[in-house]
Structure 1
């Protein structure tokens, strides 16, 4: 039985983009291999080998990759993995402790939806979308998504306050 997901994972183009992004982690900071090695309990050479796309016998672990991205604030590896699997990673400024009145958060989300719609309308009015307009639409859409995540957290906090803790 042939599985489409196997094709996706085996695609040299997709895999190389992920490996290249992993290699960019190494170049994201001066002496990154030494810093990562210390944090991960490995040698600097092991880290270099794990992040070298030309050494397929070495593999970068998921937890190590997360640790490296968190310490460098360089998320290209995350973005490439998402793209390879057909997802999009959207940075949000939403902590589990998000505070605010439910109505205020709803209004913020609704305003961001309106702004996204207005930005798209402005762009398609002349039936041409310029790169600048595309950037504006993408930014407005990302802001809308970030506001939605905040809205979800406030809704969950309210539900837990009203009915006790529960899992999503």
Structure 2
């Protein structure tokens, strides 16, 4: 009878350790996220499941072109996924659908359809980033007048794990 109690206690301890490890990994290392909407097409699609790297930004600041998951500034109960375009102190503007940072046009091979947008020059505040969706005609992003506090970035979109046909790393083109 004592052996049965010992085995049950061992199983319970193993489950408890596994639970604590899973919670720690989710809190500090990697988290799952479901893409909601078409704002990041053609790179990410509605319903895809991502793993979000929560460690990278503990050691370095977000970089231009990183795809990030963040708390939406106008409703922090919602999470958004967008691409970092402007960094703190940079001036971002859009002329005829083309994005300029500090007066230089950005090469954006991930944008499938450019909207004929105009957005006046705005300087990104310290501690913030300017984000845009890749599917510009269908994206609620920094063109709506908000920037993302870096502290509200949950992490860097890293890996698509569902659906199986889309499994792979989230592309992050290198900028200038």
Range into which the TM-score falls when normalised by the shorter chain: under 0.3
Which is helix-richer, 1 or 2?
1
Which is strand-richer, 1 or 2?
2
TM-score by length of 1: 0.23
Structure showing greater relative contact order (alpha-carbon pairs closer than 8 Å, 6 or more residues apart) = 2
Mark the structure with the bigger radius of gyration: 1
TM-score by length of 2: 0.22
